[in-house]
Structure 1
């Protein structure tokens, strides 16, 4: 049942690839072969240095290590699938048109405080996006390092956890500010549509450009996708949501760091994918 060529476990129409690094368990290295169909994982096989399948118990130990490393970047991968690079592009576009919000009294006394909050949220969005872009580059470099050395060293585990924490905290703060000001952004769009024509020409053009960038079809769509991932960031954490955002982000960082250190992969979901047999 064990020590077979992994090819015997490949099913018709499936694609397969071997992870670009080996996994060390109990002092021995193992390869992990992933079978997929239509872009989804269909099965997993763990093989020893001789290229033969190992017993189920050993395979599970190996997969646990793989899943722990993958967990650090699950949010990043999901976000990349949703928004690709449009979050970074949106930040650049906002930078070029946001200045009009600095003009006090533009929206009247009734709305001005809300517009100031929106202005702050956009600043936070840009700042955090710059951080996220840097962290993503660092994560890419880390994965390239692991691939080149074909093993995850202890320092790589530490770096992965640190980068995962930094990325999650930046994304969480960014997401909370977007969520808080979602209705305010819509108010600004409505106000511009109804009253923008009464503004002087220069202000009218500047506000129209901002409204276009923040419209539902542009930044609004990206913002909603980012907000939709808040539950993924919060999953498994005990959080106090009745605090100002800076305090929430700080507490989130502590909770996420603690969660990383005790994280256990959901083997009830992963187990059925493992095709290695019992000894």
Structure 2
């Protein structure tokens, strides 16, 4: 039976909240009510603007739209859970100590090429992090706009897609450079530990500051968390990983955009939670 009050679907001890925006399907707007217990989602109900439940087919269509919007920013949410704001803080700290890597010959001729690669990777990290911070702020503003108007408008969908794409491309490039220079960073840290005391006081002090910032307990930990999310960005994409990083990022951007525009959310885990009934 449909057209029941959603409260009739609430079970004992469950909490419920209504999403802060309505979803429009065929010029009709719908509310999505989420039931939970102990922090876990236990059920979902879709109701019309009169506050009555709708049939299951409409409910599934509405929830698919909610899932699609959520997918746009899944990577951002996962990254935020892992690193919080420490990726931005790390970029600022690197900015203050990176200059010592510009001194040619400090690490010897054999290591110079690797040090240059590490220096480039750190520069890319900072540049991309600045982009990511801007995109994240834009995403927050978009979500605030949607909440204030209580609906996702057509232009909001387009904006969300564009922001999701821009964020993913910036994060992917940043991640690949960190992954490529992971061993170089560790080699530089080990070299400093073994040979740093032989340097003149000024470069030794500067290098000590850099190695602290890039240590496994500091930036190294953040870098590893970012690198660990590369597979999440690559899910469902066919990529040629033997290419140089600029070509890989370009290919990723095209593949991710196509994936984004044609995304159909998997409903296997969500469908059993829908409590709307068939007609």
For the aligned pair, the TM-score class normalised by the smaller chain equals: over 0.9
- Could you tell me which runs of 5 or more consecutive residues in structure 1 were left unpaired when the two chains were aligned: none
Residue 90 (str. 1) matches residue 96 (str. 2): no
**Count of residue pairs brought into register by the alignment:** 279
Secondary structure of residue in 1 paired with 2:268: helix
Residue 7 of structure 1: how far off its partner (Å): 2.0
| Residue number in structure 2 paired with 1:191 | 191
Counterpart-to-counterpart distance in 2, 1:241 and 1:18: 43
1:212-242 alpha-carbon deviations (Å, 9 max, x no partner): 1111111111111100100110001111111
The correspondence of residues 97-112 of structure 1 with structure 2, limited to 5 A, is 97-112=97-112
Secondary structure of residue in 1 paired with 2:59: helix
Counterpart-to-counterpart distance in 2, 1:143 and 1:165: 16
The correspondence of residues 179-258 of structure 1 with structure 2, limited to 5 A, is 179-258=179-258
The correspondence of residues 76-87 of structure 1 with structure 2, limited to 5 A, is 76-87=76-87
1:19-54 alpha-carbon deviations (Å, 9 max, x no partner): 111000121110001122333322211111111211
- Could you tell me which runs of 5 or more consecutive residues in structure 2 were left unpaired when the two chains were aligned: none
The correspondence of residues 24-63 of structure 1 with structure 2, limited to 5 A, is 24-63=24-63
Counterpart-to-counterpart distance in 2, 1:40 and 1:15: 10
Counterpart-to-counterpart distance in 2, 1:27 and 1:119: 54
Question: Structure 1: which 4+ aligned runs deviate by more than 4 Å?
Answer: none
| Residue number in structure 2 paired with 1:148 | 148
Secondary structure of residue in 2 paired with 1:29: strand
Counterpart-to-counterpart distance in 2, 1:208 and 1:7: 62
| Residue number in structure 2 paired with 1:19 | 19
Provide TM-score, normalisation by structure 1.
0.97
Counterpart-to-counterpart distance in 2, 1:158 and 1:132: 19
Counterpart-to-counterpart distance in 2, 1:108 and 1:38: 58
Residue 172 (str. 1) matches residue 172 (str. 2): yes
Counterpart-to-counterpart distance in 1, 2:14 and 2:36: 5
Provide TM-score, normalisation by structure 2.
0.97
Counterpart-to-counterpart distance in 1, 2:259 and 2:9: 35
Secondary structure of residue in 1 paired with 2:269: helix
Residue 162 of structure 1: how far off its partner (Å): 0.6
Residue 273 (str. 1) matches residue 250 (str. 2): no
Question: Could you say if the C-alpha distance between residues 225 and 13 of structure 1 is closer, same or farther in structure 2, counting changes exceeding 3 Å?
Answer: farther
1:114-163 alpha-carbon deviations (Å, 9 max, x no partner): 11101100000000000000000111111111111111111111111111
Counterpart-to-counterpart distance in 2, 1:258 and 1:175: 21
Residue 270 of structure 1: how far off its partner (Å): 1.6
Secondary structure of residue in 2 paired with 1:46: strand
Secondary structure of residue in 2 paired with 1:3: coil
